[in-house]
């Protein structure tokens, strides 16, 4: 479990932080590096130390921003697929899930009448059931890989918002300083970050659906303890 946690943290949180920290590294290079002669001490206690701090800060900030701005907490594909009115799952597949959920947790999936009478309560009940399913299947290797993919794109989205603003600042600064090579790099970065943000709904929906499919598949195939 500790190894899997490290794999998730590295790939889903550290990697997005590295990518979205580039504009800050460019700014740091422009403002500070020109005043110091290169040395091993500067590399270890300057570049490396600052990068480590940036990675830590961005790994926290990216996750917070992505969950606050881009992720719709009330409309996850995992929850949506279990709504009785949702046609994504076949009746037979849904019946298999309902039977296993009742056996494992002693809970019944809401039916169409429940949804029509109290939609809000139905969504809460389904979210509680999904949380139990996730907890039961969290050791699945394939599910972990899809969880990492979803976590990566979600955190990359959060970091792209901050990185876009910093890229805009860098573009203006570098043009004022007539450092056109750095300005061009910043423009390219801005295009990349802004494009990811513009497509965030499609991206999260795609990876969210894939995660939901694997979650239910692994849950139905999970062995009883």
Q: Tell me, what's the pLDDT at 44?
A: 44
Quick one: what percent of the chain has pLDDT higher than 70?
Answer: 88
Tell me how far apart the alpha carbons of residues 6 and 68 are, in angstroms, rounded to a whole number. 24
What the block records as the tokens of 150 is 């979803």
- Please give the model's pTM, rounded to 2 decimal places: 0.78
For the stretch 83-118, pLDDT in tens is 999 999 999 999 999 999 999 999 999 989 999 999
Contact 61, 155 (CB under 8 A): no
What the block records as the tokens of 159 is 């970091």
Q: Among 168, 152, 150, 144, which residue's Cα sits nearest to residue 18?
A: 152
For the stretch 134-149, pLDDT in tens is 888 877 778 888 889 9
What the block records as the tokens of 218 is 């692994």
Domain containing residue 7? 2-221
Contact 54, 21 (CB under 8 A): yes
Domain count, the chain: 1
């Amino acid at each position: 479990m500790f190894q899997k946690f490290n794999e998730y943290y590295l790939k889903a949180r550290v990697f997005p932080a590295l990518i979205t920290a580039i504009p800050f590294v460019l700014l740091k290079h422009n403002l500070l590096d020109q005043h110091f002669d290169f040395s091993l001490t500067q590399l270890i206690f300057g570049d490396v130390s600052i990068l480590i701090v940036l990675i830590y800060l961005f790994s926290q900030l990216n996750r917070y921003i992505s969950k606050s701005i881009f992720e719709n907490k009330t409309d996850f594909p995992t929850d949506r697929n279990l709504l009785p009115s949702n046609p994504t799952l076949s009746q037979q597949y849904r019946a298999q899930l309902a039977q296993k959920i009742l056996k494992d947790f002693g809970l019944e999936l809401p039916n169409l009448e429940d949804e029509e009478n109290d939609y809000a309560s139905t969504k809460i009940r389904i979210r509680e059931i999904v949380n139990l399913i996730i907890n039961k299947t969290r050791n699945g290797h394939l599910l972990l890989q899809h969880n990492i993919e979803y976590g990566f794109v979600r955190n990359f989205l959060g970091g792209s918002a901050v990185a876009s603003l910093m890229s805009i600042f860098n573009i203006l600064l570098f043009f004022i300083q007539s450092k056109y090579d750095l300005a061009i790099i910043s423009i390219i970065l801005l295009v990349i970050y802004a494009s990811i943000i513009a497509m965030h709904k499609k991206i999260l929906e795609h990876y969210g659906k894939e995660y939901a499919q694997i979650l239910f598949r692994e849950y139905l195939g999970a062995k009883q303890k």
